[in-house]
Amino acid sequence: QQQVKQSPQSLIVQKGGISIINCAYENTAFDYFPWYQQFPGKGPALLIAIRPDVSEKKEGRFTISFNKSAKQFSLHIMDSQPGDSATYFCAASTIYNQGGKLIFGQGTELSVKP
Amino acid sequence: DTGVSQDPRHKITKRGQNVTFRCDPISEHNRLYWYRQTLGQGPEFLTYFQNEAQLEKSRLLSDRFSAERPKGSFSTLEIQRTEQGDSAMYLCASSSTGRENTIYFGEGSWLTVV
């Protein structure tokens, strides 16, 4: 019940295209859903996050869509750029319990071709 | 605010030796987390502290692993009698309590056990 399942494992997108990464969770107590971006040899960096009281959040080219009833959320990267090539992790936590520890998905390796 | 700092960044050790990693969190953060990440996987939660109290330990944290945060500031993660399976990146992260408890990660400490 603590798992977060992420797909696809890898994704190749042309420059200017839309990258879509999906995640599903089981624990209905989760109330915070961040996406992290990780470059090789670096630690994960927060990209964007959403709480279950909204269905969508947009920051620049990055949008999270959230479907509470389906227990799914996704990251959309509009106008994908070669600099977006990285590994993306979805995560989930319960803000007010268990110290807000994050449970991560397995990651999606994104490659944006010029 | 210099972010989460980890030391050393890389460590190669022989099987059976002990290793210790240090983490300095963001100064005003009272929560500190340790995660482990292997190639191609998402970070896995190991343990977290709130101030100096260690509040949760994952079953992944065997008896050979010990973490401390003696004064509620920096933390150490010690691995005794290292095994080849301990080879991974050890990530430290920190956050504040409250609604906006974004978790910030350090660059990680790479451990290779030979």
Q: Kindly report, residue by residue over B79-111, the tens digit of the pLDDT.
A: 999 999 999 999 999 998 766 678 999 999 999
Between CA A54 and CA B66 the distance in angstroms is: 40
Cβ distance of B33 and A99 shorter than 8 Å? yes
Minimal CA–CA distance to A37: which of A72, A80, A2? A80
Percent share of chain A, pLDDT over 70: 95
The pLDDT tens digits of the residues spanning A7-43 come to: 999 999 999 999 999 999 999 989 899 999 999 989 9
Contacts with A95 from chain B: Cβ below 8 Å: 99, 101
- Chain B interface mutation, best of A102, A103, A106, A108, highest count of B Cβ atoms under 10 Å: A102
* 3-class secondary structure, A83: helix
Locate the chain B residue with the closest alpha carbon to A48.
B102
pLDDT of residue B28: 86
Are A102 and B31 inside 8 Å of each other by CB? no
